[in-house]
Amino acid sequence: MRSNLALMSTESNKNQTTPKPFTHKEIMFVLSGLMVGMLLAALDQTIVSTALKRIVEDFDGLAHYTWVVTAYLLTSTASTPLYGKISDLYGRRPVFQFAIITFLIGSFAAGAASSMTELIAFRAIQGLGAGGLMSLTFVIIGDLVSPRERGKYQGYFGAVWGLSSVAGPLLGGYFSDHAQILGVTGWRWIFYINLPFGIAALIITSISLHIPKVKREHKIDYLGALLLVTGVSALLLGISVYGPQDGWKTSKTITSLSIALVLVLLFLYHESRTQEPILPLTLFKNHTFTVTSILGFIIGAGMFGAIVMLPLYLQVVKGDSATSAGLKLIPFMIGIVSMSITSGKLISKHGRYKRYPIIGLALMTVGITLLATLTENTPFWKLSIYAVLIGAGLGFSMQTIVIALQNSVEFKDMGVATSANTFFRSIGATIGVALFGTVYASQLSHNLPIEIAKLKASNPAALVGATPEKFAALKENTAVLQTFTPELQAGIVHAFVNSFHAVFLTAAPITAIGFLVAFLLRETPLRTGVAHHAAKEEAAGEAIA
């Protein structure tokens, strides 16, 4: 009798925690809130960079300007894996809405900042919210839609990424170019514009996002979380701040990277022994999880590391403004959006996905290699083709590996596995930016003296007015270029072009490795709506048991 009552209670709880699948209309309504949240986080990765010059001038904070970007990057990357695990324990909606509210608080405070120190602190709060927005978006759509049907919706996420890559520099340039807008300093709108969109996302998710919370017996791994956050922070400080600024052999850089290594090893040791790990190491026994983590890292490095150089090429070599350079990235966006939609529909139709990361990373490698052929006179139509190829490669691969990952893990690990993939992509992006930035700077230091020596030998008059101080300032502010003679300008621009070539030739082998790794991906049948719903019921039953 008692066992029958327990069974009835369990069945009742399962019925309460696993409602009927969402309709297409309901999914689209939820998706609108998720996309707004994701757009906010993606936009803030790019929108601030074009306004940094104006912000630095207002606060007289040149010595600390990189921290405005780094503080956001640190907290968003370090918090990403935590959100997935916490949402597995406490439910998606409250954790996602916590991320939105945190992001809005950081945005409002950053817009009202009165000093560089305050701005950096508030950007860190923004990043803390952004970590959840970036990772939980994919987790929630994984809850709502089966892997087989998910391809139909992935094009929308590709559109968000493409839009943010173009709209960020455009909006940043527009706001920073205006001294005041509606009585408020122009650059402050970079942060205030987040408020109405964030509130809209909060309202939409409150109304529509009713994913049942499955209660689990759990114990929060506070020590693991602390080790992970501090270890990742030390790593990011070493590779994105101290290394590029102070040099890779300085004591500050070596100390930071050494601390990161020790903390990561301690984290791995602790996670292997705790019962409720923040990042279960058993996930790495899953072949698809391991392969997609490597691919996420490589895609992040290729996307953020190489593509960040395109606007710089357009501004330095072609003389475009920040706004114009942003507009010229539209072909890149077209490639991402069109192929995200195309590959998504084909995956939903045929149920096969392995071919798309292979095609995508091949296109990325070809596109990045072709960027190494850019010269001072390359027409825009050629650059557009190269950008479309890279964007198409990202569209084919970035969302597809998430579908493959979510199809391969147990439903109870959906959150932590998906956010881990986002985490590895962010780490790859950070290392890519640091690596290619270092290659660019070292090549420029090598190529500039060569071009100057050529001019000194053939046309000494071309060096009139050029001082060592101006050459030193040139690496930080290319506006100095306009003070030189036309002959010297041409030589310096050629040095910049050769430096860009080195960056792209460094990036191409990395994506080529990703192309080879993609062949290791195992293709398993994608779960359909019925199987997906059954997996949710099974996970709920296990939690109750």
Q: Is the pLDDT of residue 385 over 90?
A: yes
Q: Is the pLDDT of residue 413 over 70?
A: yes
- Identify the domain boundary among 238, 256, 275: 275
- Looking at the structure, tell me whether residues 213 and 225 fall in a common domain: no
Q: Is the pLDDT of residue 53 over 70?
A: no
- Looking at the structure, tell me whether residues 104 and 227 fall in a common domain: no
How many domains in the chain? 2
Domain annotation covers residue 471: no
Domain annotation covers residue 4: no
- Looking at the structure, tell me whether residues 73 and 124 fall in a common domain: yes
Report the C-alpha gap between 224 and 81 in whole angstroms: 11
- Identify the domain boundary among 242, 259, 275: 275
Strands (E), 415-497: none
Q: Is the pLDDT of residue 361 over 90?
A: yes
- Looking at the structure, tell me whether residues 390 and 290 fall in a common domain: yes
- Looking at the structure, tell me whether residues 383 and 444 fall in a common domain: yes
* Better pLDDT: 390 or 322: 390
Strands (E), 67-195: 180-181, 184-185
Domain annotation covers residue 5: no
The residues that bridge with 181 in the sheet, in sequence order, are 184
Cα 256 to the chain's mean position, in Å? Answer: 23
Q: Which residue has the tokens 């195309």?
A: 342
Domain annotation covers residue 399: yes
Count of CB atoms situated within 10 Å of the CB of 489:
14
Where in the sequence is the domain holding 259, given as residue range(s)? 221-275
pLDDT digits (tens, 9 = 90+) for 523-539: 888 766 544 444 444 44
- Looking at the structure, tell me whether residues 232 and 375 fall in a common domain: no
Report the C-alpha gap between 434 and 103 in whole angstroms: 26
Q: Which residue has the tokens 């455009």?
A: 170
- Looking at the structure, tell me whether residues 149 and 107 fall in a common domain: yes
- Looking at the structure, tell me whether residues 122 and 232 fall in a common domain: no
Domain annotation covers residue 198: yes
What pLDDT score was predicted for residue 14? 42
* Better pLDDT: 314 or 374: 374
Distances in whole angstroms, Cα of residue 264 to Cα of each of 211, 226, 236, 279: 34, 11, 13, 12
- Looking at the structure, tell me whether residues 236 and 151 fall in a common domain: no
Q: Is the pLDDT of residue 138 over 90?
A: no
Per-residue pLDDT averaged across 409-430, rounded?
A: 82
Q: Is the pLDDT of residue 95 over 90?
A: no
Domain annotation covers residue 469: no
Domain annotation covers residue 361: yes
- Looking at the structure, tell me whether residues 158 and 261 fall in a common domain: no
* Better pLDDT: 124 or 472: 124
Q: What is the CATH number of the domain that holds 311?
A: 1.20.1250.20
- Identify the domain boundary among 257, 275, 293: 275
Q: Is the pLDDT of residue 469 over 70?
A: no
* Better pLDDT: 153 or 10: 153
Cα 531 to the chain's mean position, in Å? Answer: 31
Q: Is the pLDDT of residue 5 over 50?
A: no
Give DSSP secondary structure letters for 76-104: HHHHHHHHHHHHHHH-HHHHHHHHHHHHH
- Looking at the structure, tell me whether residues 367 and 498 fall in a common domain: yes
Domain annotation covers residue 405: yes
The residues that bridge with 185 in the sheet, in sequence order, are 180
- Looking at the structure, tell me whether residues 172 and 246 fall in a common domain: no
* Type of residue at 470: K
Among 70-84, 152-166, 281-295, 312-326, top mean pLDDT goes to 281-295
Write the CB contacts of 174 (distance below 8 Å, at least 6 apart in sequence). 323
DSSP state of 525: P
